[in-house]
């Protein structure tokens, strides 16, 4: 079953919280406390989103995070890729794993699974963060 990871769920919850903050700066602690997300994990997620220019931040005593892009500009697929890396639905579709698979040359389902992967990617690309906020 295809699943959205807990880290992606936390990222979506944080982005929704920040998007609904009426342009005020939001701290990781505030999100963590309000949404019951582990602070250390959330901090890493927010830093990743900042590094990818999805979020921006101000440092200092009154600092915090704010949206650097509009929610409708951020594809769910891109968010998942940023947070989780490879999001292949089958191990053999991951470039690294494909080299390790002893069935690659005789696999009878790789083509249909590849087509399904493309369909799943298109679905996730059609959804944006605005669908969640």
Any domain includes 1: no
Q: How many CA atoms lie within 13 A of 18 on its CB side?
A: 30
**Residue 86: which CATH number?**
1.10.10.10
| Structural domain of 39 | 6-131
Any domain includes 108: yes
Total tally of structural domains belonging to the chain:
1
Inter-residue contact 10 to 46 (CB < 8 Å): no
In this prediction, residue 89 has a pLDDT band, given cuts at 50, 70 and 90, of confident
pLDDT at position 23: 82
* Average pLDDT value for the chain: 89
């Amino acid at each position: 079953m295809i699943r959205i990871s807990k880290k992606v769920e936390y990222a979506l919850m944080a982005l929704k919280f920040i998007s609904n903050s009426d342009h005020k700066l939001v701290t990781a602690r505030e999100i963590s406390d309000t949404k019951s997300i582990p602070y250390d994990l959330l901090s890493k997620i927010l830093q990743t989103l900042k590094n990818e220019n999805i979020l921006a931040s101000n440092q200092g005593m009154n600092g915090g995070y704010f949206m650097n892009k509009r929610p409708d500009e951020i594809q769910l697929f891109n968010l998942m890729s940023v947070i989780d890396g490879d999001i292949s639905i089958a191990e053999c579709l991951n470039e690294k794993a494909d080299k390790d698979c002893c069935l690659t040359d005789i696999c009878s389902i790789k083509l249909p699974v590849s087509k399904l992967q493309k369909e799943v990617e298109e679905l996730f690309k059609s959804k944006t963060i605005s669908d969640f906020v």
